[in-house]
Structure 1
């Protein structure tokens, strides 16, 4: 019997799965971007640990977003299962690829090259996790087919939004902008996911009756327990950082850490919440004791 397209539903539980998935992506992104920013303020010996934690947070946020959203995905008369090793491998790929992006920023600083390259690689990490996760889907009498143009669009969305989020988070030191960067990163992950799902068509043999077996939610819930707990652990670690509410670093200190070169060639007044390529703010009077700081706690920092 020839296979034919079957109806699919990506919102079996209404808005519950897409909203919850977006929240998880934004939370993971917020923690990961915070860890990446924190890495820029510590000595090189400690930097790798913060960057690794940032990659774990963002990668895990991508993974949990994807599979929470997939809880709401069903195909008519087709039983959907998941290959556990491939599913978990998609988490590892997300952490690995995102890690490359954040390590570039962490060790090259807030330069245009580092932020752009890091953002592009991070966006590709989002896409890699999604399509490897989809490769782990098992159907009893169906197969997946994709529209190549829509797939390309989904990757572009991930890359552009992730790059924009990284630029905002790393260059404009204000709390509201940091929150906005996390939300943009959440849009990158969710937008990429649902665009990628729009490219999907399920081909299956026509069979009378409903699919038998466990629902996607029943299958995926146990798999998600570990990653969700991992995000909680990262959040607790960041929250218990003894310097988290007080840390600050002067522009001069950060420039010294990256070979004495100011980010963007000195054109951006990073500490003042500035525009790129504009003139730096007027310097403080000598002896005033007022240095430019990146601050945490909502006062000046993000």
Structure 2
């Protein structure tokens, strides 16, 4: 078990009312009769949340919100962002105690566990990716992507933050990212950037995905603030990034993306890159194993 977490309280970022989201999760899991809940009744009981695999604890606000909605209370024995390693403590660690009506404990069990497990898994993968990049000498931003699960984005982006990764843009309204389909639909990079600038105004950054140095130059000259070098790797990536930084300096942020994983991140490390982004920290990530057991 690690000491107290130095992570900031990211729960302050969340909307003040998670109610509709929590309600939708619970309604999906119990759309009509709760047969098991009828069996156990409403007598007050306590349950222990066990962590059974190593990783960062993340998703505490969502876990709390699920049980608060069901009139249950949660007492945590760790702080969000702490690393828990059950292998050093007999295979499982008591991470929290939940108290409330027995039926409600079981109503919230699977929804809360699924959310906590996935969020913690993403935080753990994010922390691992950031550490690998830092150990390789990279000083820029390690970011996730928008390839998140519909309806679950707030949880997944939150997990990235707890793990120390940048969540990148949150949605289509957060910033303009012009990809190949935008360019093909408007005829050119310059046309696409001009249209984006016209409606986005001064407050919205424009990023353009490019496949060559020539396209990058066109995007920058058209006014793009961020250029994504898509599927560039190794020497080609370093050469193009160096050339663009020598020409434009801080006028543009350079991002690379496309196929970046824990195994190959070294191919993307480059001092001239401001951002490396990947979906590997939140797609197909290993969940952290948690269980909730009624105390008896």
TM-score normalised by the chain length of structure 1 = 0.27
Richer in helix (by share): 1
Larger radius of gyration: 2
Richer in strand (by share): 2
TM-score normalised by the chain length of structure 2 = 0.27
